[in-house]
Amino acid sequence: MQAQQGRRARTPSVGGASSLYSYASTTRTMSRSMKSLRVAWYKKPLVQDAFFTDIQTGSLMTAVFSMVVCLFTIATAILDIYCLGMTKPGVTHYGYYIMSFQFVYVGNGNVRNCLIVFALFSAIAAAALFVTSCILLKALRREIEKDMIPWLYSSGIFFAWRTVAIIFSSVVNDMIFGYHIAMCLFWIAFILLGALGWVIVYSLYLELSDLTKLEDLAHLRMGTMSSLNMTQSIAGSRPTTPHSTVSTAQVV
C-alpha cells in the first residue's frame, strides 16, 4: 500500500510538456526559415522570355534599341533648341530659305524656356544612356550582372523624363503640324518599347544574380569539403601513440 501511495503521490513527469514546447519551437523555427526562403515579387524574373526570342537576345536588342533612341534624341534635341532659339522675338535669321518655322512655339517666353530645358536635359540624359548602353553590351557578352545596373538606372530615369517632356510638349504645341504629331507618336512607341526592354533586361539581371549566388555557394561548399579532407589526411598521416598524441619518442 505504501508503495502504491508513493507511486500515486509522485509528481507527473514534465517530459510531455517539454516535448510539446520543443515541437512548438521547432515549428516556429521552420516557419521562420520558410519565410526567409521566400523571394519578394520584385526579386523574381518578371518575364521568362522576350515573347519571340529568349531574354538574352532580347536584352541585346534592347541595348541596340537604346543606342538608336539616344542618337535620335540628341538629333531632335539639337533641332528643337535651334528652332526655339531662332524664333525668339528680336532674333534675325535666314532659316526660312531652308525650312519653315511655323511649327515652332512662339508664345510665352517661360514656356519656350521650359521647352529648351526639356530638350537640353534630354540630350544630356541620352548621352549618359548611350554610354551605359555600351556598358550593357559588354556586360551581356561577358554575362556580368553588376555592369547592368547603370543601364537599369539610366534607362528608367531617361524614359520617365521623356514621358514628362513629351506630355508637356504635346500640350503646349499646336498638334496641327506633322512634326509635333510625328514626335508624339514616335515617343509613345519608344517609351512603350523602352519599358518592355527594361523589364527584359531586369529579368535577365535577376537570373544571372541567382546563378552567381548558386555558383558562390557551390564554390564555398567545395572549398569547405576540400579543407576538411586535407585536415583529415594531415591528421591521419601523423605518427600517434595509443593516447592519440604525437609521438616524441626518439627512434634508436
Whether 10 shows a pLDDT value over 50: the answer reads no
Q: Is residue 144 part of a domain?
A: yes
Residue 74 in any domain: the answer is yes
| Three-state secondary structure call for residue 50 | coil
Distance CA 108, CA 128 (A): 31
Would residue 10 count as lying in a domain? Answer: no
Q: Look at 10 and 184; give whichever has higher pLDDT.
A: 184
Let me know if residue 43 belongs to a domain. Answer: no
pTM: 0.69
3-state class (DSSP) for residue 242: coil
Residue 238 lies in a domain: no
Helical H runs in the chain? 2-9, 15-37, 55-86, 109-142, 149-172, 178-237
Decide if pLDDT at 232 tops 90.
Answer: no
Quote the cell numbers at residue 35: 519565410
- Indicate the Cα dihedral angle 167, 168, 173, 174, nearest 10°: 40
What is the rounded average pLDDT of the residues 137-144? 89
pLDDT surpassing 90 at residue 54: no
Indicate if the alpha-carbon torsion angle 208, 209, 210, 216 is positive or negative.
Answer: positive
Tell whether the model's pLDDT for residue 7 goes beyond 50: no
pLDDT in tens, 185-219: 999 999 999 999 999 999 899 888 877 776 656 66
Q: How many residues does the chain have?
A: 252
Rg value, the chain, Cα: 35
In this prediction, residues 124-151 reach a mean pLDDT of: 93
Q: How far is CA 212 from CA 22, 113, 136, 183, in A?
A: 37, 48, 18, 42
Q: Show the domain range for 101.
A: 52-211
Residue 127: per-residue pLDDT: 97
Q: Is residue 9 part of a domain?
A: no
Helix (H, G, I), strand (E, B) or coil at 55: helix
The predicted pLDDT at position 124 comes to 97
Number of domains making up the chain: 1
CATH number at residue 63: 1.20.1410
Residue 216 domain-assigned (yes or no): no
pLDDT of residue 106: 78
Q: Is residue 83 part of a domain?
A: yes
State yes or no: pLDDT of 82 exceeds 80.
yes
